[in-house]
Amino acid sequence: MIQLAVIINNRTVLAKVNKTDMNNPEYGTKEKPILVFSARGADHPLEDMVATDEKPEGFMMNIDTPVDQYRYNVFMYFTYIMPKKEFKERFDSK
């Protein structure tokens, strides 16, 4: 994994992506996007307005990716998204 710094709406966002996918010219297209496994604010937490039944007026909620969600995202990617052949090519020889 590598961590990238990206500017979105004048905020620096740190995103974790697969290093091999980033370096592969076949990735980064609509058909084969580079998946972001984790995102968080560099200087401040990422926040979004959330409304609930209890607070219909909404409130700001931290939407940084927690560590357990990052691990889950990586597991799901390797288990269900990455083709088995590609997984074997990347990891069986190591």
Q: What are phi and psi of 56, to 5 degrees?
A: -65, -20
Kindly report, residue by residue over 21-35, the tens digit of the pLDDT.
Answer: 999 999 999 998 999
Place of tokens 């740190």: 14
Q: Which two tokens stand for residue 62?
A: 């931290």
Average predicted confidence (pLDDT) for the chain? 91
DSSP tag of 92 = T
DSSP β-bridge partners for residue 6: 13
Predicted confidence (pLDDT) at residue 38 exceeds the cutoff of 70: yes
pLDDT tens-digit map of 41-67: 999 999 999 999 999 999 999 999 999
Q: Which domain holds residue 17?
A: 2-91
Domain count, the chain: 1
Instruction: Could you list the beta-strand ranges (E) of 1-94.
Output: 2-8, 11-17, 36-41, 47-50, 59-62
